[in-house]
Structure 1
Amino acid sequence: MDSETFGQTLRRLRGDLSIRDVANRAKCGKSYVSALEHDRRTPSPAVVVALDEALDARGELIAAARQSSRPSVLERAEELRRGMTDVLASGGMSDAGIEDWGHVVGRYGRATRYRPEADLLADLLSDFSDLLQVLEHRHPAAVRRKLGVVAAHLSGLVALTLLKLGDSRSRDWWRTGRAAAAAAEDRAAQSWMYAQESYALYYGGDMIGAIELAQRAQSLAWGEPYVGAALAASLEARAHAVLGDRDAAEYALRRAEEALERLDSDFITASAFGYSESQLRFHAGNTWTHLRESGRAWREQQRALELYPQEEHTDRTLIHLDWAMCLAHDGDMAAAAAHATTALVALPHEHRSSLIIDRARHLTNSGSASRLKLSEVQVLKEILALPAGRDMEG
């Protein structure tokens, strides 16, 4: 059957015979035959002939092996495309080519605000592979620096996406991005990388490390209207709030507001490479939530929800979870759990990232044992226990 893989053909022809029997007849290992059936190994020509004879397949397995070894039309298309990319890169990079890479990065930056992380990651890695192919060729120093900034930004976007997916390999991509930004000698890109990496440490529970990186980002941006300064100052405020340092948190929020005011209008946008009042209000609300000042937190949360468009699923949900945490801090655990449940049910399943689920689980682990037995909390726990990708129903 043309639609079958070699492993599927082998399993069909094996019929009622055990894997051990087939392995004995073909004079090969049982685990090897099992790996072939699951398409985890590619058989040698001699093994294919031995298996074909052992199962009296009359050449069917040999034909299946030949079919499996041929590249598909789509694989051939990708091979040709990459070959053309290599040819074009060997001829040097034009200004138009560099500008196109800038548009690619900008598009991805905006896409982080509305595209599901798993979907976005595949496209990011595909374009990163193409960029790597371009960088393998020699370029003038000025061109290589510009491409290095593109590499830094794409690395940061991959890291940010992996972070939201709860994948620890994000830290390796931060390191790659920082190295690319440093090689390009671009302080704006370096500041942005350190700011974004500070978020990784923050969500990983390392508040001291997050503050250090956030301060490094602000130092690199000193006196310049860089996005990294605004991102970093707001993150520093949140980290200080987790540690209970109200004065330091409030001072960092003021620096975040000042950094936002200094930004050019092109960077006050919904993008991973921009910053806006909606983000500032979200971050301020989170800061006051950690400091257990619910009144101030609610005012910031309400303003953030007014500013964020509906397609900003991740941040809007995180704001609602902060709202729920404020309710819990104020002693109404039932309302807190109900509010969190409503927020999760409203969230499309493709946007239910590890970041969202972990924040909601934190709510179910807070409070006294008696409060955690409330029916509303139990419902929230049931929602969180659903397998990934399954739709939640209210």
Structure 2
Amino acid sequence: MGLDEVEWAVERHGRATRYRPEAELLPELLADFGDLRLLMSGRQSEPVRRRLAVAAARMSGLVALTLLKLGDERSRSWWRTGRAVAASAEDRATLSWMYAQEAYQLYYSGDLYGAVELALRAQHWADALPCVGPALAAPLEARAHALLHDADAATDALAGGRTALDRLPEAERTESAFGYSEAQFAFHSGNAWTHLGDTDRANEELTRALHLYPRSDHMDRALVHLDQAMCAAVSGDPASAADQALTTVVNLPEQHRTALIIYRARDVADKVPEARKTLEIKALREVLALPSG
């Protein structure tokens, strides 16, 4: 595999994360990463070595992101590998992207302060560089602040995300793990407003996200629907919340029902106080308790 082929494969895998099932994509990522390591073990000129290092960092990030969605803790070591390789290449944009993606690991594991710290680090490494890292990191920072009930910080972070997205070159506003789109910003903004309890604004953004996302993006569309269910729960309609969450999970192709999807659906059920549990909530919990398949 030559250098151009390696970089093309990395970009192709980045696009594939938006529509391919994680369990299907992972073996191919690992196989291509093995080929890349073999290529890096040979003698290379400095410019070629740097390009290979950037490709390896990006590939490590894709493996980590895929493992994260599958609920596999091995993702943590892949984040470390990717950051180390990106640092060795002295590529600020890639290092910023790595920190932004890793912030999601901490966010979904419940370490909200850690998620904010990594999101801020991603924005620090990017500095004034118009790149995906800060566009991805700032809305994640906003979502973490929203869960920590800091409305001012969340609002400021969303404004930062809007600015970072507006500065992105058109080529990087793509449906790829290496891009950031208007659909994603609408989804992440809606999530932040949901956690802040502003369900009207949240639903407006979530509806916009569904309009913008392609049908092939099964995971993010499902997450948007689950956020809409969460809005219903926050608004005091547990039956509608459970019904929408249940419909989302059942209608999602089985190969896309990852640990992340189940986690978010359970979060909807957990949002309803015990005294207001309904038959719909019980049905949702029963489905979520079933083994895969």
Q: TM-score, normalised by structure 2?
A: 0.98
**How far apart are residue 311 of structure 1 and its match?**
1.0
What letter matches 2:287 in structure 1? Answer: I
Q: Please state if 1:286 is matched with 2:203.
A: no
CA distance in 1, matches of 2:270, 2:207: 25
4+ residue stretches of structure 1 with deviation over 3 A?
none
| Equivalent position of 2:50 in the other structure | 145
How many residue pairs match? The answer is: 293
Q: Please state if 1:376 is matched with 2:280.
A: yes
CA distance in 2, matches of 1:363, 1:256: 26
**How far apart are residue 253 of structure 1 and its match?**
0.6
* Alignment equivalent of 1:255, drawn from 160, 165, 179: 160
| Equivalent position of 1:197 in the other structure | 102
CA distance in 1, matches of 2:30, 2:113: 31
What letter matches 1:191 in structure 2? Answer: S
Q: Which runs of no fewer than 5 residues in structure 2 stay unpaired?
A: none
What letter matches 1:298 in structure 2? Answer: N
| Aligned ranges 1:299-378 → 2 under 5 Å | 299-372=204-277, 374-378=278-282
- Is the 2:234–2:271 Cα contact (8 Å) retained in structure 1? no
* Alignment equivalent of 2:92, drawn from 174, 177, 187: 187
**How far apart are residue 279 of structure 1 and its match?**
0.2
> 1:244-292 deviations in whole A, cap 9, x for unaligned?
1111101111111111111111101000000110000000000001111
- Is the 2:136–2:161 Cα contact (8 Å) retained in structure 1? yes
What is the SS of the residue equivalent to 1:365? helix
CA distance in 1, matches of 2:232, 2:189: 17
| Aligned ranges 1:1-394 → 2 under 5 Å | 97-372=2-277, 374-388=278-292, 390=293
CA distance in 2, matches of 1:340, 1:371: 16
> 1:326-374 deviations in whole A, cap 9, x for unaligned?
11111110110001111111100000000000111112222222322x1
Give me the identity figure in percent. Answer: 58
More helix by share: 2
What is the SS of the residue equivalent to 2:55? helix
What letter matches 1:284 in structure 2? Answer: S
CA distance in 1, matches of 2:249, 2:165: 30
CA distance in 2, matches of 1:129, 1:224: 31
> 1:179-198 deviations in whole A, cap 9, x for unaligned?
01001110011000000000
Higher relative contact order (CA 8 A, sep 6+): 2
**How far apart are residue 113 of structure 1 and its match?**
0.3
| Equivalent position of 1:56 in the other structure | none
CA distance in 1, matches of 2:38, 2:274: 56
Larger radius of gyration, structure 1 or 2?
Answer: 1
What letter matches 1:310 in structure 2? Answer: R
